[in-house]
Amino acid sequence: MVAKVKVATAWLDCCAGCHMSFLDLDEALIGLADAIEITASPITDIKEFSPVDVGIIEGAIGNTHDEEVAKELRANCKILMVWGDCACFGGICTMRNLFSKEEVFRRYYLETESTKDGKVPSSEDLPQLLEQVKPVNQVVKVDCYVPGCPPSSKAIHYALTELLEGRIPVLPSEMMRFD
Protein backbone atom coordinates (compact mmCIF):
# COMPACT_ATOMS: atom_id res chain seq x y z
CA MET A 1 0.00 0.00 0.00
CA VAL A 2 1.39 3.37 -1.06
CA ALA A 3 1.33 6.12 1.57
CA LYS A 4 -1.06 8.96 0.86
CA VAL A 5 0.27 12.41 0.06
CA LYS A 6 -0.45 14.64 3.04
CA VAL A 7 -2.03 18.00 2.18
CA ALA A 8 -2.84 21.00 4.38
CA THR A 9 -4.80 24.02 3.18
CA ALA A 10 -5.54 27.50 4.52
CA TRP A 11 -7.63 30.42 3.41
CA LEU A 12 -6.51 33.88 4.29
CA ASP A 13 -7.84 37.26 3.07
CA CYS A 14 -10.36 36.00 0.49
CA CYS A 15 -13.89 34.75 -0.15
CA ALA A 16 -13.33 30.96 0.06
CA GLY A 17 -14.25 30.54 -3.62
CA CYS A 18 -11.11 28.52 -4.35
CA HIS A 19 -11.96 25.91 -1.72
CA MET A 20 -15.48 25.84 -3.20
CA SER A 21 -13.92 25.09 -6.63
CA PHE A 22 -11.99 22.27 -4.97
CA LEU A 23 -15.25 20.86 -3.60
CA ASP A 24 -16.74 21.27 -7.10
CA LEU A 25 -14.47 18.42 -8.20
CA ASP A 26 -17.46 16.24 -7.25
CA GLU A 27 -16.74 12.59 -8.18
CA ALA A 28 -13.06 13.34 -8.84
CA LEU A 29 -12.74 13.96 -5.08
CA ILE A 30 -13.32 10.25 -4.54
CA GLY A 31 -10.33 9.39 -6.73
CA LEU A 32 -8.20 12.02 -5.00
CA ALA A 33 -9.24 10.68 -1.59
CA ASP A 34 -7.42 7.44 -2.46
CA ALA A 35 -4.20 9.38 -3.04
CA ILE A 36 -4.27 12.31 -0.59
CA GLU A 37 -4.95 12.85 3.07
CA ILE A 38 -6.18 16.32 3.97
CA THR A 39 -4.88 17.31 7.39
CA ALA A 40 -5.26 20.90 8.62
CA SER A 41 -7.82 22.70 6.49
CA PRO A 42 -10.95 24.84 6.76
CA ILE A 43 -12.71 21.76 5.37
CA THR A 44 -11.50 19.50 8.21
CA ASP A 45 -11.44 22.28 10.82
CA ILE A 46 -8.04 21.07 12.08
CA LYS A 47 -6.24 24.24 13.12
CA GLU A 48 -2.62 23.12 13.72
CA PHE A 49 -0.20 22.43 10.87
CA SER A 50 1.87 19.29 11.09
CA PRO A 51 4.49 18.35 8.46
CA VAL A 52 2.85 17.65 5.09
CA ASP A 53 3.93 17.04 1.53
CA VAL A 54 1.80 19.81 0.01
CA GLY A 55 0.56 23.06 1.48
CA ILE A 56 -2.13 25.06 -0.30
CA ILE A 57 -3.03 28.68 0.41
CA GLU A 58 -6.03 30.57 -0.86
CA GLY A 59 -6.15 34.30 -0.24
CA ALA A 60 -3.92 37.34 0.10
CA ILE A 61 -1.86 38.46 3.08
CA GLY A 62 -3.74 41.34 4.71
CA ASN A 63 -2.89 41.14 8.40
CA THR A 64 -0.36 39.75 10.86
CA HIS A 65 -2.35 36.53 11.35
CA ASP A 66 -2.29 35.85 7.58
CA GLU A 67 1.50 36.33 7.61
CA GLU A 68 1.88 33.89 10.51
CA VAL A 69 -0.32 31.26 8.85
CA ALA A 70 1.59 31.53 5.55
CA LYS A 71 4.95 31.22 7.31
CA GLU A 72 3.80 28.31 9.47
CA LEU A 73 2.36 26.38 6.52
CA ARG A 74 5.48 27.05 4.42
CA ALA A 75 7.66 25.77 7.27
CA ASN A 76 5.59 22.57 7.43
CA CYS A 77 5.31 21.65 3.74
CA LYS A 78 7.65 20.43 1.03
CA ILE A 79 5.71 22.11 -1.79
CA LEU A 80 3.55 25.21 -1.45
CA MET A 81 0.80 25.77 -4.00
CA VAL A 82 -1.38 28.88 -4.10
CA TRP A 83 -4.92 28.92 -5.48
CA GLY A 84 -6.69 31.96 -6.87
CA ASP A 85 -5.89 35.49 -7.90
CA CYS A 86 -5.80 36.78 -4.30
CA ALA A 87 -3.01 34.34 -3.35
CA CYS A 88 -1.22 34.61 -6.71
CA PHE A 89 -1.40 38.37 -7.30
CA GLY A 90 -3.19 39.99 -4.33
CA GLY A 91 -6.48 40.03 -6.24
CA ILE A 92 -9.45 42.15 -5.32
CA CYS A 93 -8.18 42.36 -1.74
CA THR A 94 -5.50 44.78 -2.92
CA MET A 95 -8.19 47.39 -3.59
CA ARG A 96 -7.59 48.26 0.07
CA ASN A 97 -4.08 49.39 -0.94
CA LEU A 98 -5.61 52.53 -2.45
CA PHE A 99 -6.31 53.79 1.08
CA SER A 100 -4.40 54.14 4.33
CA LYS A 101 -5.24 51.84 7.23
CA GLU A 102 -6.68 54.83 9.07
CA GLU A 103 -9.01 55.65 6.14
CA VAL A 104 -10.16 52.00 5.97
CA PHE A 105 -10.88 51.84 9.70
CA ARG A 106 -12.64 55.21 9.69
CA ARG A 107 -14.93 54.27 6.81
CA TYR A 108 -15.62 50.74 7.99
CA TYR A 109 -16.21 51.39 11.69
CA LEU A 110 -17.21 55.05 11.93
CA GLU A 111 -18.70 56.37 8.68
CA THR A 112 -20.81 53.59 7.18
CA GLU A 113 -24.44 54.55 6.80
CA SER A 114 -25.57 51.88 9.28
CA THR A 115 -23.02 52.82 11.98
CA LYS A 116 -24.34 54.26 15.23
CA ASP A 117 -21.84 55.24 17.90
CA GLY A 118 -19.06 53.50 16.00
CA LYS A 119 -15.74 52.61 17.53
CA VAL A 120 -12.59 51.18 15.95
CA PRO A 121 -11.94 47.91 17.79
CA SER A 122 -8.67 47.64 19.62
CA SER A 123 -7.38 44.52 21.33
CA GLU A 124 -4.09 42.69 21.51
CA ASP A 125 -6.06 39.58 20.49
CA LEU A 126 -6.94 41.08 17.09
CA PRO A 127 -4.42 40.68 14.25
CA GLN A 128 -2.92 43.94 13.08
CA LEU A 129 -3.82 45.12 9.59
CA LEU A 130 -0.77 45.41 7.34
CA GLU A 131 -0.06 48.68 5.55
CA GLN A 132 -0.56 46.89 2.21
CA VAL A 133 -2.25 43.65 1.15
CA LYS A 134 0.27 41.32 -0.51
CA PRO A 135 0.22 38.15 -2.60
CA VAL A 136 1.61 35.10 -0.80
CA ASN A 137 4.93 35.10 -2.70
CA GLN A 138 5.84 38.44 -1.11
CA VAL A 139 5.89 36.69 2.27
CA VAL A 140 7.01 33.10 1.61
CA LYS A 141 8.41 31.01 -1.23
CA VAL A 142 5.68 29.64 -3.52
CA ASP A 143 6.37 26.60 -5.70
CA CYS A 144 3.31 26.57 -7.97
CA TYR A 145 0.41 28.83 -8.89
CA VAL A 146 -3.20 28.10 -9.87
CA PRO A 147 -4.64 31.52 -10.77
CA GLY A 148 -8.27 32.36 -11.39
CA CYS A 149 -11.10 34.01 -9.50
CA PRO A 150 -11.77 31.35 -8.58
CA PRO A 151 -9.68 28.82 -10.50
CA SER A 152 -11.82 26.22 -12.17
CA SER A 153 -12.17 22.83 -10.53
CA LYS A 154 -10.57 21.46 -13.71
CA ALA A 155 -7.44 23.60 -13.12
CA ILE A 156 -7.25 22.56 -9.47
CA HIS A 157 -7.64 18.90 -10.42
CA TYR A 158 -4.94 19.21 -13.07
CA ALA A 159 -2.53 20.84 -10.59
CA LEU A 160 -3.14 18.23 -7.90
CA THR A 161 -2.82 15.38 -10.40
CA GLU A 162 0.48 16.79 -11.67
CA LEU A 163 1.80 16.93 -8.11
CA LEU A 164 0.71 13.34 -7.49
CA GLU A 165 2.67 12.36 -10.61
CA GLY A 166 5.76 14.04 -9.16
CA ARG A 167 5.68 17.14 -11.36
CA ILE A 168 5.39 20.80 -10.39
CA PRO A 169 2.29 21.89 -12.31
CA VAL A 170 2.38 24.57 -14.95
CA LEU A 171 -1.16 25.17 -16.13
CA PRO A 172 -1.74 25.02 -19.88
CA SER A 173 -3.00 28.31 -21.30
CA GLU A 174 -6.50 26.91 -21.94
CA MET A 175 -6.86 26.40 -18.17
CA MET A 176 -5.86 29.99 -17.44
CA ARG A 177 -9.38 31.21 -18.12
CA PHE A 178 -12.78 30.30 -16.76
CA ASP A 179 -15.19 28.71 -19.24
pLDDT digits (tens, 9 = 90+) for 116-171: 888 988 899 999 999 999 999 999 999 999 999 999 999 999 999 999 999 999 89
Q: What is the pLDDT of residue 179?
A: 55
Q: What are the domain boundaries of the chain? A: 5-96+129-166
DSSP 132-151: EEE-GGGTS---EEE-SSSP
How far is C-alpha 152 from the chain's CA centre?
A: 15
The whole-model pTM stands at 0.92
Domain 5-96+129-166 is in which class?
A: alpha beta
Q: How is residue 41 annotated by DSSP? A: B
